[in-house]
Amino acid sequence: MGNPVYTPDMTAVHTPGAPRIEDGELVSTNPATGAEAGRFPVASAEDIGRAVERGREAGLWWAGLGFAGRKERLLRWRALLAQQITELAELSNREGGKPVAEAIVEATSGIEHVDWAARNARRVLGPRGVRSRLVLAEFSAHLEYQPYGVVGVIGPWNYPVLTPLGSIAYALAAGNAVIFKPSEYTPAVGQWLADSFARAVPEHPVFQVVHGLGDVGAALCRSGVGKLAFTGSTATAKKVMAACAETLTPVLLEAGGKDAMIVDADADLDAAADAAVWGGMTNAGQTCIGIERVYAVAPVYDTLLAKVVERAGRLTVGAGDGADIGPITMPSQIDVIRRHIDDAIARGGRAVLGGPEAVQPPYVRPTILVDVPEDAAAVREETFGPTLTIRRVQDADEAVSLANAVPYGLGSSVFGRRRAIAIARRLRTGMSAINSTLTFVGMSTLPFGGVGDSGFGRIHGDDGLREFGRAKAITKRRGPSLLPAMTFDRTPEQVARIVKLVKLLYGRRTP
Ligand code: NDP
Domain CATH for 248:
3.40.605.10
What is residue 156's predicted lDDT score, i.e. its pLDDT? Answer: 97
The residues annotated as belonging to the active site are 254, 288
* CA–centroid distance, residue 237 to ligand 1 (Å): 8
The partner residues of 317 in beta bridges, in order of sequence, read 325
Is residue 407 included in any domain, yes or no?
A: yes
- What does the alpha-carbon distance between residue 279 and residue 295 come to, in Å, rounded to a whole number? 14
Is residue 318 included in any domain, yes or no?
A: yes
- Claim to verify: residue 200 and residue 314 sit in the same structural domain: no
- Claim to verify: residue 384 and residue 240 sit in the same structural domain: no
3-class DSSP assignment, residue 82: helix
- Claim to verify: residue 244 and residue 300 sit in the same structural domain: no
What is residue 8's predicted lDDT score, i.e. its pLDDT? Answer: 32
112 within ligand 1 shell (Cβ under 6 A): no
DSSP letter assigned to residue 37: E
What is residue 42's predicted lDDT score, i.e. its pLDDT? Answer: 98
What is residue 130's predicted lDDT score, i.e. its pLDDT? Answer: 97
- Give the helix/strand (H/E) hosting 194: helix 187-200
257 within ligand 1 shell (Cβ under 6 A): yes
Is residue 511 included in any domain, yes or no?
A: no
The partner residues of 393 in beta bridges, in order of sequence, read 297
What is residue 438's predicted lDDT score, i.e. its pLDDT? Answer: 96
157 within ligand 1 shell (Cβ under 6 A): yes
- Claim to verify: residue 333 and residue 279 sit in the same structural domain: yes
Domain span at residue 56 reads: 20-255+462-470
- Claim to verify: residue 177 and residue 295 sit in the same structural domain: no
Is residue 494 included in any domain, yes or no?
A: no
- What does the alpha-carbon distance between residue 158 and residue 367 come to, in Å, rounded to a whole number? 20
* CA–centroid distance, residue 350 to ligand 1 (Å): 31
- Claim to verify: residue 30 and residue 127 sit in the same structural domain: yes
Rg (CA), the chain: 26
What is residue 17's predicted lDDT score, i.e. its pLDDT? Answer: 63
- Claim to verify: residue 249 and residue 334 sit in the same structural domain: no
Helices (H) and strands (E) counted in the chain, each on its own, are 16, 23
- Claim to verify: residue 90 and residue 197 sit in the same structural domain: yes
Q: Note whether 26 and 184 are within 8 A (CB).
A: yes
Closest CA to 321 of 157, 162, 103, 82: 103
Is residue 486 included in any domain, yes or no?
A: no
* CA–centroid distance, residue 472 to ligand 1 (Å): 31
- Claim to verify: residue 49 and residue 128 sit in the same structural domain: yes
| The total number of structural domains that make up the chain | 2
- Give the helix/strand (H/E) hosting 496: helix 492-506
> Could you tell me the maximum CA-CA distance found in the chain, to the nearest angstrom?
92
Is residue 496 included in any domain, yes or no?
A: no
- What does the alpha-carbon distance between residue 124 and residue 71 come to, in Å, rounded to a whole number? 13
223 within ligand 1 shell (Cβ under 6 A): no
- We report the CATH number of the domain holding residue 419 as 3.40.309.10
256 within ligand 1 shell (Cβ under 6 A): yes
Quick one: which atom of ligand 1 is closest to the CA of 455? 41
- Claim to verify: residue 424 and residue 466 sit in the same structural domain: no
Nearest-5° angle of CA 64, CA 70, CA 76? 145
Quick one: which atom of ligand 1 is closest to the CA of 185? 46
285 within ligand 1 shell (Cβ under 6 A): no
Q: What is the pLDDT along the chain (511 residues), one digit of tens a residue?
A: 332 333 333 333 334 568 899 999 999 999 888 899 999 999 999 999 999 999 999 999 999 999 999 999 999 999 999 999 999 999 999 999 898 999 999 999 999 999 999 999 999 999 999 999 999 999 999 999 999 999 999 999 999 999 999 999 999 999 999 999 999 999 999 999 999 999 999 999 999 999 999 999 999 999 999 999 999 999 999 999 999 999 999 999 999 999 999 999 999 999 999 999 999 999 999 999 999 999 999 999 999 999 999 999 999 999 877 899 999 999 999 999 999 999 999 999 999 999 999 999 999 999 999 999 999 999 999 999 999 999 999 999 999 999 999 999 999 999 999 999 999 999 999 999 999 999 999 999 999 999 999 999 999 999 999 999 999 999 999 999 988 889 999 999 999 999 999 999 999 987 7
Residue nearest to atom 4 of ligand 1 (CA): 232
Is residue 449 included in any domain, yes or no?
A: no
The partner residues of 140 in beta bridges, in order of sequence, read 476
- Claim to verify: residue 318 and residue 236 sit in the same structural domain: no
Query: For residue 283, is it left (φ>0), alpha (ψ between -120 and 50) or beta?
Result: left
- Claim to verify: residue 162 and residue 77 sit in the same structural domain: yes
* CA–centroid distance, residue 123 to ligand 1 (Å): 32
